Structure 1
């Protein structure tokens, strides 16, 4: 018993349009026609169509099917390349699932770069936003160093800086700057890249500076920025005296 095109498509779990397309590309030979002009397909056409569908379902482009079927060196290269592509895709999907799990576990983790999940509950929102901005410019090694630095218990002076109100009086700013300077100096000693973020950037100097400046201005209030300026001035004076 011979089958019509629609019957063949149904048996192979595909569509009439797909069968006709395979005829057009030369992947599937057209069968003989009956006296009434209708195509008559047999089991060899079904087997051929199922084979094509299997390769297509594996992700193989139609143009590569003849090479793979020839079982030559090029065919093996095509299959190995496809396997490598699928492995990379699986790895990416697994990474995405890990990130989704972190977000589901704590929605606040969306405010941090990937891998900073454990710091979510310990960092103020402004600092989380700052880190997210920095992730667009700093190298992975620099971001890892920042993560290591932030994993240490936060000092009292750091907590006071984060909680500093915008209308803090001048004497409070001055004292906080004097107390914060030695801590920043120690951080720079432990992590030298903090002295020059541009040297640890994946971007050009101008774009790196613009991200840092705009992020600080956006996520810290005027009193905090004033304290940072004082800290910078103190450290510069120490460097000049040492030189």
Structure 2
């Protein structure tokens, strides 16, 4: 049993769970920490898929009552049909653009320097949005229009650039398009379900051959850590944004990105690139 590797799996699982649904980029954190901890081989590609799946399952568990109700009502209730339709519309841009550019983006942009730059740029955008006068038009997911879902879907597609943050793009995009913070966050969580499940299935199809039985203990540790960390993070995040802005997340992104770029520029850390 490789205990150092299990510890790395525990750390990365916790980081994935804590950051997946916060506007600070889970993918960016995993790329940077994976590089720093030396866990960026072929097995790590599948590991990151597994812990991402755990995070989305945690959201499904947190919102199980709503999801079960939608599933039961879907054949006959217009509200349930409309809710699923909104998710489908929001899912389409990322699905289409992801299929078109997935390989190019992973091959070129998945490195710590790109991530750090995107973290800083995203943080500055959040600060700009939070300085604007804010009068939300939509205060409930049920009040979303089809055009709202589509615009948030295009915002989500920006998160294909590592370091952007899927949740950050959808939440801040939702706020720009007139949603309240809580509504934007909840729609981001719901939209993550089809988006991340589809991405997981696609990535497993592309990288499934890299999965080996000897890796299962490492994957199991990461999966469990990610699941419980994500459950805690989602509940805490909703409570936090009920009374706070996203400014703290913006500054975290900016400082983290600057630290990575500074250590690279000064030669303190030899960040690897694909």
TM-score class normalised by the smaller sequence: under 0.3
Q: Which has the higher contact order (CA 8 A, sep 6+)?
A: 2
Higher helix share: 2
Task: Tell me the TM-score normalised to structure 2 length.
Answer: 0.21
